[in-house]
């Protein structure tokens, strides 16, 4: 054991702690430096190995090595040199050796869940395993059939609550309308370029700005039109082959939808222009420079039914002004067949009218 020099008690405790820390960090370096810094107490009866060439003869005097003088500081006597100074020198040597060693590069590792999935990804998912920010099943995953069908829309996201709680939902079976002299809808549709997109729920046509309608003293700009098969609306219980919904919006964000019923007959030119430019992939958009005139979808006789309802797709927003043309437009069997290959059925079931007032042109 290495003896400690005789120091005042306050120095001993502080120095001992410093030396202990040095031994924990690098014991070999500490011992090596301590041997050269602290004087060893000589042993008088040091044993000699028997049979050794260096063993002294019996009775011979043993020559003791001269006592090594401890390192002294010029500022204080050797007896008062604190072990803290020794600890500092040991620490300095340890730092020098550490700096000489090559340092390993530590790469960050992402924490993982029990299943091995990164925790950041697991936290972004709900219990169903779908992205949490999109609701239990994701706002883009509603459908017309199966587990994500209309009966479950309200449970797919809090934003869809109106789909089950609303009292003015669409579509409805139009019956018992009050025949009155309705104000004519002023259509101001103009030819222009258009874009076709298959959004996963229907084929939608986004039109260029400039087309609008005026009704009940308000002006609504045409934003887009899209198709459903079969028709979502019914008239006195009758359902049609298809329907096209022309969606308009006024500067305050209020919506007005003109519905044109489509029944089997001759080819419809505007529909054919849309089919000619169908995108090859869902959610791809095809920009068409050839002008399209939305007024080609309208019947010559523009009498209509009107009522207040909602969007027929999530989030089922209410407060939508509906105008359903009383006279259907023809569409060819081939044109119906093309849409049917994409969407055999994309119509919301009929909703209760809840005593709403329905008016129709006389």
Residue 245 designated active-site = yes
- Judged on CB neighbours under 10 Å (0-12, 13-18, 19+), 44 is exposed
Residue 228 designated active-site = yes
The whole-angstrom separation of Cα 306 and Cα 178 is 10
Report whether 132 contacts 125 (CB < 8 A): yes
Of the residues 80, 139, 159, 201, only one is catalytic, namely 201
Structure tokens at 131: 């992205």
Max CA distance (Å), the chain? 145
Which conformational region is residue 354 in: left (phi greater than 0), alpha (psi within -120 to 50 degrees), or beta? left
Of the residues 202, 228, 306, 360, only one is catalytic, namely 228
Neighbours of 248 (CB within 10 A): 23
Of the residues 81, 202, 245, 248, only one is catalytic, namely 245
Residue 130 vs residues 13, 47, 140, 147, 155: alpha-carbon distances, Å: 62, 80, 11, 14, 14
- The dihedrals phi and psi of 167, each to the nearest 5 degrees, come to -105, 0
Residue recorded with tokens 């059925």? 345
For 188, how many CA atoms within 13 A lie in the half-sphere containing its CB? Answer: 12
Of the residues 306, 312, 313, 360, only one is catalytic, namely 312
Residue 232 designated active-site = yes
Of the residues 81, 202, 226, 306, only one is catalytic, namely 226
Of the residues 232, 233, 248, 313, only one is catalytic, namely 232
Residue 201 designated active-site = yes
Residue 312 designated active-site = yes
Active-site positions?
A: 201, 226, 228, 232, 245, 312
């Amino acid at each position: 054991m290495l003896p400690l020099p005789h120091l005042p008690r306050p120095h001993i405790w502080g120095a001992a702690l410093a030396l202990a820390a040095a031994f924990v960090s690098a014991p070999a370096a500490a011992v090596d430096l301590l041997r050269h810094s602290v004087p060893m107490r000589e042993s008088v009866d040091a044993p000699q190995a028997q049979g050794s060439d260096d063993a002294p003869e019996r009775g011979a005097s043993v020559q003791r090595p001269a006592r090594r003088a401890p390192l002294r500081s010029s500022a204080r006597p050797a007896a008062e040199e604190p072990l803290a100074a020794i600890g500092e020198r040991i620490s300095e040597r340890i730092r020098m050796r550490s700096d000489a060693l090559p340092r390993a590069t530590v790469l960050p590792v992402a924490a993982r869940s029990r299943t091995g999935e990164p925790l950041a990804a697991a936290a972004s998912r709900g219990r169903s395993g779908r992205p949490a920010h999109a609701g239990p099943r994701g706002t883009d995953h509603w459908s017309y059939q199966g587990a994500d069908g209309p009966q479950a829309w309200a449970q797919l996201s809090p934003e869809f609550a109106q789909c089950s709680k609303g009292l003015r939902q669409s579509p409805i079976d139009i019956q018992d309308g009050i025949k009155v002299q309705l104000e004519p809808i002023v259509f101001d549709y103009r030819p222009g370029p258009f874009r076709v997109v298959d959004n996963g729920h229907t084929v939608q046509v986004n039109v260029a700005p400039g087309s609008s309608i005026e009704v009940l003293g308000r002006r609504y700009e045409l934003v887009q039109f899209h198709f459903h098969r079969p028709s979502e609306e019914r008239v006195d219980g009758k359902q049609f082959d298809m329907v096209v919904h022309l969606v308009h919006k006024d500067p305050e964000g209020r919506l007005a939808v003109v519905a044109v019923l489509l029944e089997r007959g001759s080819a419809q030119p505007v529909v054919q222009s849309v089919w000619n430019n169908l995108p090859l992939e869902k959610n791809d958009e095809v920009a068409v420079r050839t002008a399209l005139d939305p007024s080609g979808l309208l019947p010559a006789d523009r009498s209509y039914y009107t009522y207040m309802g909602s969007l027929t797709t999530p989030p089922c927003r209410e407060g939508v002004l509906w105008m359903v043309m009383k006279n259907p437009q023809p569409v060819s069997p081939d044109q119906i067949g093309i849409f049917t290959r994409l969407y055999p059925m994309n119509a919301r079931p009929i909703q209760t009218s809840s005593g709403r007032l329905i008016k129709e042109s006389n």
